[in-house]
Amino acid sequence: MTEAMRPLTHLVNLKSPLSLSDYMSEGGYQGASKALHEYSPKQVLDLVSDSGLKGRGGAGFPTGMKWSCVPMFDDNDDNAPEFKYLVANADEMEPGTFKDRYLLEGVPHQLVESMIIGAYTMVANRGYIFLRGEYHLAAQRLQQAIDEAYQNNWLGKNIQGTQFSFDLYVHTSAGRYICGEETALINALEGRRAIPRAKPPFPQMSGLFGKPTVVNNVETLSNLPHILKHGTAWFKALSPDSDSGTKIYAACGRVKTPGLWELPMGTTIREILYQHAGGMADGLKLRGLLPGGASTDFLLPEHLDTPMDFDSISKAGSRLGTGGLIVLDDKSCPVAMVLNLIKFFAQESCGWCTPCRDGTPWAVEVLTRIENGTGRKEDLDTLHNLCDFMWLGKTHCALAPGAVEPLKSALRYFLDDFEQHIDHGCCSYKQNTAQKTKLKGHCHG
Amino acid sequence: MKSNIISMENISTVTIDYRQYLSTVEVAEIEHEVSIMETREAAGIEALKIIQEHRGWVSDESLYAIADLLNMPEAELEGVATFYNLIYRQAVGQFVIHLCDSVACHLTGYEQIYQTIKSHLGIEYGQTTDDGKFTFLSNVCLGGCDKAPSMMIGKQHYQSLTPENVVEILGDLAKQESKHD
Task: Supply the angle between the helices A334-348 and A354-371 in degrees, to the nearest 10.
Answer: 150
Query: Does the distance separating the beta carbons of A337 and B103 come in below 8 Å?
Result: yes
Interval B47-101: pLDDT, tens: 999 999 999 999 999 999 999 999 999 999 999 999 999 999 999 999 999 999 9
Task: Enumerate domains of chain B plus CATH numbers.
Answer: 13-81 (1.10.10), 95-175 (3.40.30.10)
Among residues 225-264 of chain A, which lie with CB inside 8 Å of chain B?
250-254, 258-260
Give backbone dihedrals phi and psi of A295, rounded to 5 degrees, phi first. Answer: -100, 35
Q: What is the pLDDT of residue A3?
A: 75
Chain A residues with CB inside 8 Å of B139's CB? Answer: 134
Task: Enumerate domains of chain A plus CATH numbers.
Answer: 2-237 (3.40.50.11540), 246-329 (3.10.20.600), 334-438 (1.20.1440.230)
Q: What is the pLDDT of residue B9?
A: 65
Q: What is the DSSP letter of A297?
A: -
Give backbone dihedrals phi and psi of B150, rounded to 5 degrees, phi first. Answer: -135, 160
Closest C-alpha among A196, A245, A209, A199 to residue A225 = A245
Please name the helix (run of DSSP H) or strand (run of DSSP E) that holds residue A263, with its range, or none. Answer: strand A259-264
Query: Does the distance separating the beta carbons of B83 and A194 come in below 8 Å?
Result: yes
Residues of B with CB under 8 A from a CB of A: 36-39, 41-46, 48-49, 79-80, 83-87, 98, 101-104, 106-108, 139-148, 152, 155-157
Interval A167-180: pLDDT, tens: 999 999 999 999 99
- How is A215-262 classified by DSSP, letter by letter? EEEHHHHHTHHHHHHH-HHHHHHTSTTSSSSEEEEEEEESBSS-EEEE
Paired strand residues for A172: A131
Q: What is the pLDDT of residue A339?
A: 98
| Total-model pTM | 0.95
Dist CA A1 CA B103 (whole Å):
36
Interval A346-379: pLDDT, tens: 999 999 999 999 999 999 999 999 999 999 999 9
Query: Does the distance separating the beta carbons of A326 and B143 come in below 8 Å?
Result: no
A438 pLDDT band (50/70/90 cuts)? very low
Paired strand residues for A129: A88, A170
- Residue A169 Cα distances to A126, B82, B167, angstroms: 8, 25, 39
Which ipTM did the prediction report?
A: 0.94
The two most distant CA atoms of chain B are separated, in Å, by: 67
Chain A residues with CB inside 8 Å of B143's CB? Answer: 92-93, 97-98, 101, 132, 134-135
B66 touches B75 (CB < 8 A): no
A327 pLDDT band (50/70/90 cuts)? very high
Q: For chain A, report the end-to-end CA distance as a whole number of angstroms.
A: 52
Q: What is the DSSP letter of A191?
A: T
Dist CA A335 CA A321 (whole Å):
22
Q: How many percent of chain A have pLDDT more than 90? A: 92
Whether residue A201 is preceded by a cis peptide bond, meaning omega within 30 degrees of 0, is yes
Q: What is the pLDDT of residue A443?
A: 63
Q: What is the pLDDT of residue A135?
A: 98
A223 touches A238 (CB < 8 A): no
Q: What is the pLDDT of residue A75?
A: 78
Query: Does the distance separating the beta carbons of B80 and A193 come in below 8 Å?
Result: yes
Question: Looking at CA atoms only, how far is residue A354 from chain B in angstroms?
Answer: 17
A186 pLDDT band (50/70/90 cuts)? very high
Cα four-point dihedral sign A183, A185, A191, A194:
positive
Please name the member of A92, A174, A189 whose beta carbon is closest to the beta carbon of B85.
A174
Paired strand residues for A170: A129
**For residue B7, is pLDDT > 70?**
no
Please name the member of B44, B80, B148 whose beta carbon is closest to the beta carbon of A252.
B148
- Kindly report the length of chain B: 181
Question: Looking at CA atoms only, how far is residue B170 from chain A in angstroms?
Answer: 19
Interval A145-170: pLDDT, tens: 999 999 999 999 999 999 999 999 99
Question: In terms of CA atoms, which chain B residue is nearest residue A140?
Answer: B155
Q: What is the pLDDT of residue B4?
A: 58
B121 pLDDT band (50/70/90 cuts)? very high
Query: Does the distance separating the beta carbons of B139 and A134 come in below 8 Å?
Result: yes
Question: In terms of CA atoms, which chain B residue is nearest residue A192?
Answer: B80
Question: Looking at CA atoms only, how far is residue A47 from chain B in angstroms?
Answer: 31
Paired strand residues for A252: A326
Question: Looking at CA atoms only, how far is residue A49 from chain B in angstroms?
Answer: 31
Interval A259-277: pLDDT, tens: 999 999 999 999 999 999 9
Chain B residues with CB inside 8 Å of A190's CB? Answer: 37, 39, 41-42
A440 pLDDT band (50/70/90 cuts)? very low
Number of H helices, E strands in chain A: 19, 8
Dist CA A319 CA A290 (whole Å):
9
Whether residue A291 is preceded by a cis peptide bond, meaning omega within 30 degrees of 0, is no
Dist CA A387 CA A375 (whole Å):
18
Please name the helix (run of DSSP H) or strand (run of DSSP E) that holds residue A102, with its range, or none. Answer: helix A99-106
Q: What is the pLDDT of residue B1?
A: 47
Q: What is the pLDDT of residue A156?
A: 98
Chain B residues with CB inside 8 Å of A348's CB? Answer: 140
Number of H helices, E strands in chain B: 8, 4
B151 touches B113 (CB < 8 A): yes
**For residue A242, is pLDDT > 90?**
no
Dist CA A107 CA A245 (whole Å):
19
